[in-house]
Structures are given as structure tokens and as C-alpha cells.
Structure 1
Amino acid sequence: MSTFVTTSHGADFFGEDRHLITSLASLADYARSCLAADERDQLVQLLTAPATAEVGTEQTIPAADAGRLATQLRRVARNRYLRSKRLAASAALLADAAARAAADGEPWHWRTEATA
């Protein structure tokens, strides 16, 4: 069974993106190392929370926070030590979705799901 997070304001036809929870946890590790200590806490918490959340758990990030998180996610995606193109692509997709939510003035939604 694969567990993933579906985010709103994504790039697919339905306006959603799906990210494996294991990928999000790996991104959190990179965020810890490439962002300053005083700015990374919310992003790291957002990326690690789905690992312990039950399937069906939803999280809503206000538009103002989504804008700030988009900037941080872009920095993680562009970090020279992030060698995995797959993780860099996930970080870039998350940053784009967060930026769209912020630009629209809408909250950014995350939902934990699983497949058989």
C-alpha cells in the first residue's frame, strides 16, 4: 500500500498533485539542512506531518503562509546538494502549487490518501 498526499492548486487536470509521503520526508531532511533555523520549522512540520497522520487527514494552509512556503520550497528545489531530480521536481511542484494558492488568495489544502 502506498501512502501519498494530494495537494490543491496542482498542475494536473483536476488542479491537484500527488506526492509520496516518503518523498516529503526526504524533502524535510533537505529543508533542515538548506534553510535557516528560524525559517524552516513550519515547512519541516508540514512535510513530516503526513507520515504520522491517518489516511483521510486534511490540512489547510492559509494563503499568506502558502506564499512564504512557496519561496522556501523553491530554495529547497534549487539547492545544489539536492541531487535527486525526482525530489527536486517534487519540491518545485509543491512550490508552484503553494504560489498559485497564494496568488489566488485561497488556502492550500493537503489530504493524506492511500492506494492498495
Structure 2
Amino acid sequence: AIHDAEPSLITSHGADFFGQDRHLLADVVALAPWIANSGAYDDRQASAPLAAAMEARESLTVPADAAAVYAEQLLRVSRIRQLRPRASALARALADAAARAAADGEPWTWTTEEGAR
């Protein structure tokens, strides 16, 4: 069966030949509560911007210093035992891309792409 294309998020500094990663937007949005509720209560304010960005469903440019912080938060979430393997792999892929952007001193960009209608 042929399925309609779903909205996706394309991130810079990814692992493919073009330096991009493509993730289903619905999966990224579903990961946001894990980001918002990970860590100690006092740390939740620090993870709120990342969770809000994931829920916003829009394109974004993250400065390199913020990408380094996001990489740490995403890596922490990827290691949560209760997180399903697919979501954990998504968090890890996003963490790796954010870390590469931070290491290069470049902004980490997110571009949303709507599915075919």
C-alpha cells in the first residue's frame, strides 16, 4: 500500500552523506515530554526550551552553545530505561547531531517539511 508522506524534521549536522538527518515530526513531538520531565526538578527549567522547541513543530536555528546543552539533555534522555528503543534512538541521533554542531561551532538548524498533500 502507498502511504502519504508524513511531516518530517530535517536537522543539520546529521549522519547522512549530505550532513542531514530526517525524523518524523510526530516522533520528535512525542519525545518532548521525556525531555521536559527528565532530570531533577530543579533541572527542568533548563530543559524547558528544548521541549518547547520540539513541541513547536516549526523550523529553528539553535546557536552552537545552546546545541551543546541540548546534546547533553538529549543524551541523558536517550539513556532512560523506560524509553522505547525507537524513541531512544531518536534522542541519541538528535544528541549526536547537536554535539557535532556544537563541536564545529556552527548553529544547529531544524527545518520542518510537510508531507505531500
TM-score where L is the length of structure 2: 0.88
5+ unaligned residues in a row in structure 2: which ranges?
none
Tell whether 2:23 aligns with 1:19: yes
TM-score w.r.t. length of structure 1: 0.88
2:45 corresponds to which residue?
38
Q: Quick one: which amino acid aligns to residue 79 of structure 1?
A: I
* Correspondence 1:67 to 2:42: no
Mapped to 1, the partners of 2:30 and 2:80 lie a distance apart of: 14
The letter of the residue matching 1:20 is: L
What is the deviation of 1:59? 1.4
Moved segments of 4+, more than 6 Å: none
| Whole-Å separation in 1 of the counterparts to 2:53 and 2:79 | 19
Q: How does 1:1-12 map to 2 (within 5 A)?
A: 1-12=5-16
- Give the aligned CA root-mean-square deviation in angstroms: 1.1
* Aligned partners of 2:64 and 2:102 also within 8 Å: yes
Give the gaps of 5 or more residues in structure 1: none
Aligned length in residues: 109
SS at match of 1:115: coil
Larger Rg: 2
Q: State the percentage of identical aligned residues.
A: 47
Q: 2:56 aligns with which of 49, 52, 58?
A: 49
Q: Counting strand residues as a fraction of each chain, which structure ranks higher?
A: 1
